[in-house]
Chains A and B, each alone.
Chain A
Amino acid sequence: MSGVVLRDVVKAYGDVVIIPKLDLEIYEGEFVVIVGPSGCGKSTTLRMIAGLEMVTSGEISIAGKDVTYAQPKARDIAMVFQSYALYPHMDVAGNMSFALRLARVPKAEIAERVQRAAEMLELTPYLDRKPKDLSGGQRQRVAMGRSIVRDAYCFLFDEPLSNLDAKLRATMRTELAILHKKLERTMVYVTHDQIEAMTMADRIVIMKDGVIQQIGSPREVYTAPENLFVAGFIGSPSMNLMDAELTRNNGALYVKGQGFELPVPGRLQERADTAKKSNIVLGLRPEHFSAADRGNGAFAPIELAVDVAEYIGSSQFIAASVGGKNLTAAVEVGPDAAPMESGTYYFDTERLYLFDRESGQAL
C-alpha cells in the first residue's frame, strides 16, 4: 500500500502518554492537514513520520515500505520546520543544495535542480545571499526550496507559516497549494490554524489530546462535524454551542433552550427521536443567522439582545445574548447598513446541529 500509513501508533514519554493509539492513512499525492490546538500531538505525529521521534509502539510505512525504525534519511521525506532552520553559514544555493551534496548528486544536476526550484519560488536573484540578508517570506521560501530540490516522496510541513504576517501567510498559502499541484507529491501539513487547514487540504485530520476526532474533506468537517470538539474548532467565528432539550409540540419536534425554540430539521428527526431528549447541545454557526426571513420555510425567528455590532464590510459580526447566554452571529446586511440592534433575527434551521451532551457526538 502506498502513501503514508500509521498503524496503532503509540507515543509516550515515560508514563506520560502523548498519543494513545493512532491510525491514519494518507494516500499518495494527497495534501493532508493535521490540525488541532497546541499540545494535541499533531507535531509529534509529524515528527514520528519524519523519524525525528521514535514510536513507542505501532508501525509507520511510507510508500509501502516499513520505516518504523528507519533513520530519517532512509524515509525519502523532506521537511519544512516552523522556524525555517536555515543553515546560517551557507548561502541560499548552499542551503538548497545541502541534501543533494550529501547524497553525492553530480554537480551539474545539483545546479540544475537548485536553479529550477529557485525559479519556481522566485528566489533566483537571492541565490548567493545568506539567510540573515533575507526577509521572513524569502527565508520561508528558501526553507521550502530546500525540500523541493530533494524531490522526496513525501513532504512534511510543521507550521511553516506561523511566523509570517497575515498578508504574507495568505500569499504563501496559495503558493503552497500551487506547489502541491505542480509537484503532485504527498504532503502532510501541521497547523493550529483552521483557516490554513480549510483552504489547503484535500483532507483534514482534526486531533485533540492525541486522538483523531475526525478525518474528512474541508467540506465534510465543516458541514458534518462528528462531535462537539470538531464543531467548535472548525469555522470562523466558531460555532455557538448552547444547552438545549428536545420537545414535541403539536407532533413536531423542537429544540428548546433558554430564550429560543427552533424546529428540528427533517434530516435530524429520526436520530433526534431516539436520542436522550433532555441532554442536548445545540450548535448554530454564526454565518447561518440572517437579519430577515428569507422565506423558504427553513428560517425560524430568534430574539437576540445585541451587545455590540462589529462592522467588517458587507457583513456585521454581532456579539449578542440569548436567554443570558453569549452568542455570535454574522449577518450579511450590505456595506451601508446601520449598526445592527436588538430584535428578531432568523436562523436557517436546515443548518443547525444537535449533539449529545454526554458523549459529545453529533446526532
Chain B
Amino acid sequence: MNSKTRNPQTKADQVCEKSSEDKIVTRRNFIKGTALAGAGAAAILKNESSNAQETKSPDIKIPEEIPRTLSEAAKPANFPMTGAEVFAKFMKDEGVAGFFCCPGNYNMINAIAAEGIPSYGGRCEGNMTSAADGFSRVTGEIAATSGTEGPGFTNMIMNIGAANSSRTPLLVIASNKTIGEDDTEHGIQTAYQQAQTEGLKKWGKRLITPNRIYEYAAYAFRQLKTGVPKPVHLDFPGEISRARFEEPGELQYYYDKTRYRTESKAHPNPADITLAVDMIQRADRPMIVASTGVFYDKAWDALLRVAEKNDIAVTESAPMRGHFSDSHALSASTGLDAVRSADLVILIGQYCMPSIGEFAFGPDAKWIRIDPDATDIGRNVPIDLGIVSSEKAALEALEDALPSRDRPDWRNELAAARKAFDDQSQEYYSLGLKYSADTDSIHPAVIGKHLHDFLYEGDIAPDQTTVVSGGYGIGRYTRRYLRAHRPGQICNGAYQYGAIGPDVGYTVGVGAAVQNGVGPQAPYKGAPIVGITGDAGAAYSIMEFETLGKYRIPAIMIVYNNNAWGVWTSGASRGAVRAQHMYLFQENLRYEKIAEALGCNGEYVTSPDQMTPALERAYKIASDEGISTLINCQGKKEFWTNQYPPSMPRHFAPGALAYYK
C-alpha cells in the first residue's frame, strides 16, 4: 500500500517542497538561531535524511493475524467461568453493541471479544473512550470501553468527562491491581479510581467481593438503561476478574435480566398533558427542542407525528442530530430567527440543561419541560409546566390529546427564517472565496460549502453520510453547512464539555457503528463517514488513523489547519506581552503525511478549487478499499480576527449552530 501511487502530489504540494528546499535549515541551526534571535524567528524544518530512509522502508501492511482473529467464531463462556467471563457474558446478554479498548485488563477484554461483542483495539485509552461515546451517540446503544489500571485509566478521564456532559450510556471498565495489595504501592500502576471519576459519572463501584460480580453488573445496567444516562464506571481488581465460579449458585443475585431490572418507563400525568395541550393551543409559535432523550428513547416517529398534527416547530439540541430532519417544513434547526420568535418552548429530553441566556429564546417565551428526572426539572430555566415522563410516552400522550391544527403563518415564518440562514451561509461562502483568494489558502466557509454540496447536492444520497461534526473554530462554520436528515446522522463533537481533541476518537466509534450497521445506521452499513476537526484537536487523537487503517473503517477526516490554537487571539491582544508563542504552532504542518505514515491516505488542500476533487478522491478510496483519508486544509489563523468578518462566528443555540448544549 504505497500512498504515493494512490495520491499524486498536488501542484501546491510540489511548490511547497521546492520552497522548503530553498530554505532548508538544520534543527541544530534552528535552535541556535532562535536562541540567539529570541521569539519571532520563522524557519522551515526538514529532516535531511528522510528521503534516503523512505526508499528502503518496507511497505505498511496489515498482519495476517488481524483479519484472521477478527473472523474467528465467537466462543461464549459457560460454567465454569471466571469473573471476567461472567461479566462479559452479562454485557453480551444486555446487548452491548461495541467495545473499544487498549490492552491491559487482559482477562476482561479477551472475554468480551470471545463473547462476540464487536471489539476494537486502538492507540490511546482516551480516544477509545471517545470512540465508544461516539458509537453510542449515533446508535443509541450502550458501548463499553476499557483501559488498564493506573495510567491507562487516567488517560481516559477527559473523554469520560465529555461523555458525561453528553449523557452517554457509556460503560467504563478498568482493571485495578489487587485488593490484597491496597495501599502498599506494590508493583506499579496502582491507583484509587472511583474518586477520580467523581462528578463525571452516574454511578461507579470498585468491586471487592468476587461472588457479587453478577449482582454489580446488574447495578451497572440498571443505571445505564433507566432514566437519564451517564457513564458508569466499574473497576476490577485481580481477585474479581480472575475469580472462578463452577456453577451459578456461587454467584449472588443470579437472576435473568427480566428480574433484575424493568423496561417500564414513567408515563405523564394526564392532568399535566391537559395543561400542556392548553398552553400549546394558546401559543401562536410553539417550538419543541428535541434533545438527547428523544434520541435515546427512540421517540423520533412520535415526535414527527406530534409536530405535524399541530404544526409545532422543532429544533434540535443534543450531542447527536437528525431525530427531526432539517429538511422538514417545520424544522427550526436552521431557522434561527424563528427560535427568537417562539412564544412557547417545549424542552423534551434536554438532559444537559442550559442556563439562562445559553438558548436564544426571547424573554417572554413560556417554558414546558418534559424529562424522566423530576429532580432536574426547574433547574437553570424557570418552568411554566414540568412533566415527568419518558420522552416517547409524553409525545405519544400529546399526539393523542392534541387537536389537529394548521399554523400557516408560523410555517411561513419558519421558511423565511431558514431562507435567511441559507442566504447568510451563501454570503459567508462568497466572503470565504474572496478571503481564500486574497491569502492563498482555504477559508472555513469554503470548506463547509464544498462539503455540503458534495454530501447533499451530488451523487450521494443526502441521508447517507454520518458526520462527526467536531473542531473548534472550524466547527463554527461547518455546522452551518452540515445537514441531518435522519436519526444519528450527526455526532456533535464537542458538545457541552467543550473538549478539544476527541474528534478522531469519535470518528473511530462512529465509523465502527456504520461499518456494522448498528441501530439507525443499519440502512447505511459500510458507507464512508466524514469527520471534521481542527489542527489543535487533531494532535490529541491523530494516532487513531492507525486504528482506522487497521480495521479498514472508511472515514474522511477534514483537518482545518490554521497554524494555531483556536483561541490564539488571547495571546495577541489586550496588552499581552511574551505570550503569543504559547498559542501558535509551526506553520504549514503536514498532518496528511502522518495519516499516510499510518497506513491511510493524505490530501493537502490549499485553495478552494482543490477541495471537491480531494473529497471525491477520498470518498472513492474509502468506498472501494475501506481506506481512510486525512484532508489537511490549509487556512490562516487571521481568519479568526475582525480583519476577516465574520471572523469566528458566535455560537447560537439551540439548532444547527449549537456548539454547547
Query: Do the two shown chains form a genuine complex with each other?
Result: no
